[in-house]
Structure 1
Amino acid sequence: MSEQVAVLSSGVPRINRISADQPWTWLARGWVDLRAAPAVGLGYGALFALVGFLVLALMAAWDLFELFLPLAGGFLLVAPVLAVGLYETSRRLQAGEPCSMRLALTAWQRNLGQVALLGVVLLLFFIAWMRLASLIFMLFFAYDPPSPSGFLEHVFLRWESIPFLLVGGGIGALLATLVFAIAAISAPMLLDRDVNVVVAIATSVEAVRRNPFPMFVWACLIVLFIGAGLATFYLGLIVTLPIVGHATWHAYRDLVAAPEPAEPREL
């Protein structure tokens, strides 16, 4: 049974404490939701896989293989707001309402302005990461650029590449940690409640702060599932993306206390 903590501040709901194994329950519920609405979940995942294929084709055509890792990492930064349709599908399933791809793709209209603001925040992080990644790559490989055919070996399988991997991985991890704290549950909260983006972000950060280890486990599971999808040249995203998206809705529902009923007014 989760333990509720005191109200944080005006407008910010109470946060529930959860156990370290709760993220696995979220994934199980995400799988249940995917099976309940497979056309929406798999269609959503297929749409993202198709975009990934197009990006790969463009990188191959322009010999920009060095962008694969930054783009893969950047996808994790902006994915929370891109998965709004999956949160909406889980919300509808929980409420016993009908689900469809049309409803999923137009879910952002429920709180258009605030969801858009969150998208802008995550987009700024994405742009910053892409600029930093490009700068780091040039600092280490400007005088010895890898060829397209030997890119993986040049970047990952040489001792000389270890400093590049450590620096790039460290900076990426810092940005990812900050974005995770901001966006762990803020997007589904904006979809579910009439709140602004500041309250949603504050609630998300507080949820991570109150449950550091369970949320660390959840972050690792997200990286594992989405990373597996990316590593299969985006094919795996068809399944892993909807599972994680649906699970994120259940994470929000478990972490954020239900609104307290309003007290009746005296006549």
Structure 2
Amino acid sequence: MAGSVAAKLDLGADHPVIIHRVSMEEPWRWLAAGWRDIGRCPGVSVGYGLIWVVLSLMLVGGLWLIDQGSWLLPLIAGFMLMGPLVAVGNYEISRRLQQGMEVSLPPVLLAWRSNPTQIALMGVLLMVFLLAWIRFATILFALFFGVHIPTVETTTIYTDLLLSGTGVSLVLTGTVIGAILAFVAFALSVVSIPRLLDQPNTSVLEAVITSLAVVQQNFKPMLLWGFLLSVVTFAGLAVGFVGLAVALPLLGHASWHAYRDLVSEGTREPK
């Protein structure tokens, strides 16, 4: 449940965007609300997650077949950056549940059509961060390993990264750089796509400004929320991507409830 009003944003609309202050307990409640949404429509929710599991496994298999296994680790780490875009279908499920609408897979898969241009532009913005992370990862490999980039076929990628001083230094450096990029992307997108879906007349610029204001006004709760998003996502990835069938819906539904608690329009009270 949203707390006191932290800020009112004048984005040139007929009514202001209201940012609410929340407590440190709210991220846990968002996860619980997300879990309840899965229980209300498990077939559609988990089915949507399975689609992304299949696509992820196809990508991994493709990289393996063309001997590009060294890209797996940076792509897995970069998955978090694209998470808000991937979860757009789960936002739609939660939106429909809140409004008492029928929930089925076809409208969920087509949810982006409510605001296609702006959601696509938000996707481009997140893709820029993903490409920046991949570029940094490539440069780090070159700096630490020179021209010898470990491959999956030789199995040296794991021993070199985890059991050597050079590999550990690379992992630590990459973690710091990745964390910085991830936090910036998180601050820009934490409520952006849910708002683009909820308010079809909203632009990417307005959504990003709203998201930044949310993080500024709720810095500690948002740090906890970002940490929980990361932990659940990597837990889903760690079990061969299959865990994403549950992790993705859980975080997508929870993120919708976070948006609804953190942001309200001048004409709408928070839930």
Q: TM-score, normalised by structure 1?
A: 0.93
Q: Distance in 1 between matches of 2:82 and 2:192?
A: 13
Q: Distance in 2 between matches of 1:5 and 1:131?
A: 38
Q: Which moved more, 1:181-190 or 1:71-80?
A: 71-80
Match of 1:89 in 2: 93
Residue 106 in 1 paired to residue 106 in 2? Answer: no
**Secondary structure at 2:202's aligned position in 1?**
coil
Match of 2:232 in 1: 225
Match of 1:154 in 2: 160
Q: Distance in 2 between matches of 1:72 and 1:144?
A: 21
Match of 1:187 in 2: 193
Residue 40 in 1 paired to residue 41 in 2? Answer: no
Aligned length: 261
Match of 1:49 in 2: 53
Q: Distance in 2 between matches of 1:190 and 1:240?
A: 22
Specify every segment of 5 or more residues in structure 2 that has no aligned partner in the other structure, as ranges: none
Match of 1:216 in 2: 223
Q: Distance in 2 between matches of 1:151 and 1:199?
A: 43
Match of 1:9 in 2: 10
1:54-105 CA-partner distances (Å, limit 9, x unpaired): 1221222122221112111221111211211110110000000001111111
Q: Which amino acid aligns with 1:179?
A: A
Residue 163 in 1 paired to residue 169 in 2? Answer: yes
How far off its partner does 1:144 sit? 4.2
How far off its partner does 1:5 sit? 2.4
Residue 21 in 1 paired to residue 25 in 2? Answer: yes
**Secondary structure at 1:5's aligned position in 2?**
strand
Q: Which amino acid aligns with 1:135?
A: I
**Secondary structure at 1:7's aligned position in 2?**
strand
How far off its partner does 1:10 sit? 3.1
Q: Distance in 2 between matches of 1:6 and 1:144?
A: 52
Note the aligned Cα RMSD (angstroms). Answer: 1.4
**Aligned mate of 1:140, from 144, 147, 159:** 144
Residue 241 in 1 paired to residue 245 in 2? Answer: no
CA contact (8 A) 1:4 1:257 kept: no
